[in-house]
Structure 1
Amino acid sequence: MDSEINAELRILEFGCDPSEITKCLNLQPTSTWVKGEIVSKTGKGILRHQENGWAWCSNLDSEEKVLDFRDLFDDIFRNLNPIKDKFQYLPNNSVIQLACCAYIRNCAPAFTLDERIIKLLAEINASVDFDIYCLNASE
């Protein structure tokens, strides 16, 4: 596996069915889950979701290999900026997060949050979560 990156908008901790988030934003999620749903089963037991969740990934994640977060953020901006006013109608307890993940091998991806993305994240009251995994050549 070469280096890979992805970015997704997550809405968490709301009390309603995830389909209500989809209706509110008029945006089809990439994935949804409900509290208690099984995430995975291992030899150590069953891991379950601890909260309701709704996620939308940048379309670029599946279309082509992207190694620059700016490309993903541009796609997120194009899709979310026109609907940013709808975020105010989400359930009160909703937590909004831009989740970014990088699996790094051989080359490091570019990561820049330009002023458009920072302003959009502030307007929808979103935080940023960034995970970096440095992989060995054998992984």
Structure 2
Amino acid sequence: MRTFRLDPRLARDTLGVARLGLCELRLMNDSRWPWVVLVPQREAITEFYELSPLDQTMLTFETDLVARAFKALTGADKLNIATIGNVVSMFHLHIVARFASDANWPGPVWGFGMAEPYEAARAQALVSDIARAVLPA
């Protein structure tokens, strides 16, 4: 059995939050928007339809679980949920909390400006908050 390896760009640009049943939940290291990514732990998947029907169902369940918790945690006006994959082909799903007051509202977050990494303490606090919101004890 092959060991799953996270795409190097996802590993560089995100911080680990939690391991769910199918996906690894990661925080995008860009403080301009609260932004998480779900990465199914499957090798060589680039498209949703390449996941098995059971994995597709699990991804839908985990997307719902994370989106509900993330919206409640952030108080976002709107969640953007997308599977673009033009830069990183490894299949991953973005959940971005958007606010009418954010830097590029109502435009997309992709390709807008430069990422502004979190300060270490803020990143750790947000990772912990997200993990508790998604997987309460």
Higher RCO (C-alpha under 8 Å, 6+ residues apart): 1
More strand by share: 1
Q: TM-score, normalised by structure 2?
A: 0.31
Q: Bigger radius of gyration, 1 or 2?
A: 1
TM-score of the two chains, using structure 1 as the length reference? 0.31
